[in-house]
Structure 1
Amino acid sequence: MSRTLHPLTITDLSGFARSLRGALAARQAPLGHVEMLNLLSRAAGFKNYQHFRATSVIATERERRVEAPKADAELIERVVRHFDRQGVLMRWPAKNSLQPLCLWALWSRMEAGRAYSDAEMKALLNRWASFGDHALLRRALVSLGYAVRTTDGRIYRRIEQKPPVELSPLLRTLNANKPA
């Protein structure tokens, strides 16, 4: 059974030790596990162990929200320049730093769990990129781990994974640029 870790930060170690010593001295019988957790929690300034856990969970959630990565607006702006108003990739970026996000945009258009034949991949990539090098895109999708192909190269599948935070703003920008 896995355990949830609840970090305990003690700002005043001396006060913690004094409180814990006093509580332990008042006890006659040995402490059970839950009683010990409650004593430690009270010595740290909480009502009981449940209060400590609840506070710990709230603090962890706050930290998660605060640590959420921000999208790189400059990167998105530079990548958008490589797409036309219909969201078609007009040219392959020379800068390696822009290429993965372009591929993520193509990856997002592939259906999850669907197997694509070589001919279907070629047709899709030619539709999504107007510069006419579907083989470059296909190789890049596979080599960077966005898609997988069978050893004979006949079937392609999108690899499900968490996209970067820049993908959603990029797709919103590309969709906003589309003419009605």
Structure 2
Amino acid sequence: MPKTPLPLRADDLTIFVRALSEQLGDVSPSHLTLMNMAARAAGYQNVQHMRSAHAAELRLTRAVGETPVNARAVERALHQFDIKGRLKQWPSKRSVQTLALWALWATFPTSQPLKEQEVNERLAQEHLFGDPATLRRMMISCELLSRRDDGTDYRRIEQKPPAEAKALIRVLGSRRLTRSLKVAETKNA
């Protein structure tokens, strides 16, 4: 009777080996010896070979040119937004301000000129502290928006957001979608 392969998966080799060592009791080899034995059983030369192969695999699976996201920075910026994706207050840290501006940038239409009043209305919908002029000026100084010298024809400057900004935009996008769906339900009711 042929045997069906039974896969074994351990999220952390150290925890797996520690549990194995406890089961073996007094006859258990050292922790490092058990780690190397487990790595060899998995087809590697030793645990260092296993670690380097895993690290290489992670590097290769990451998209070309994609930088890792600083999740803590995204989390700090998310604390500045309410459950509906609106900016609650102007952040004190410059790095958080920049991420917040990227999140606002994502709400503007691409390649569409806007008047100053339209920009202010959009920004007013996306923040709670009542200062669209500051947000508008900051977006221009950070080169996220452009405008003519006479204050007309505002446009979103198309560019690739940094990895943290992409992550923040993604999370806030779902919050804003929920907000827009609730507004649509209220109008239809």
State the TM-score, normalized to the length of structure 2: 0.58
Q: Percent identity, aligned pairs only?
A: 39
- Secondary structure, in 3 states, of the residue corresponding to 1:150? coil
Quote how far apart the aligned CAs of 1:64 are. Answer: 8.3
Does 2:155 correspond to 1:157?
Answer: yes
In the TM superposition, structure 1's runs of 4+ consecutive aligned residues that sit over 2 Å from their partners are 62-68, 171-180
Q: Aligned residues, how many?
A: 120
Structure 2 CA distance, aligned partners of 1:150 and 1:130? 27
Counting only pairs closer than 5 Å after superposition, residues 95-106 of structure 1 correspond to structure 2 as 95-106=93-104
3-state SS in 1 of match to 2:154: strand
Q: Who is 2:141 aligned against? A: 143
Residue 81 (1) aligns with residue 79 (2):
yes
Any gaps of 5 or more consecutive residues in structure 1? 1-61
RMSD: 2.3
What is the letter of the counterpart of residue 139 of structure 1?
R
Whole-angstrom distance in 1 between the partners of 2:94 and 2:81: 16
Question: Equivalent residue for 2:88?
Answer: 90
Per the alignment, residue 59 of structure 1 pairs with none
C-alpha separation in 2, matches of 1:116 and 1:77: 31
The whole-number CA distance in structure 1 between the counterparts of 2:175 and 2:62 is 33
CA gap 1:66/1:94 in 2 versus in 1, 3 angstroms: same
Match of 1:125 in 2: 123
Q: Greater CA radius of gyration, 1 or 2?
A: 1
Instruction: Provide Cα deviations, 1:41-82, integer angstroms capped at 9, x if missing partner.
Output: xxxxxxxxxxxxxxxxxxxxx598465310110000000001
Shift of 1:169: 1.7
Deviation at 1:131, TM superposition (A): 0.5
> Residue 70 and residue 133 in structure 1: after superposition, are their counterparts in 2 closer, same or farther (change >3 A)?
same
Kindly provide the amino acid, as one letter, of the partner of residue 115 in structure 1. Answer: P
Measured in 1, the distance between the counterparts of 2:130 and 2:146 equals 21
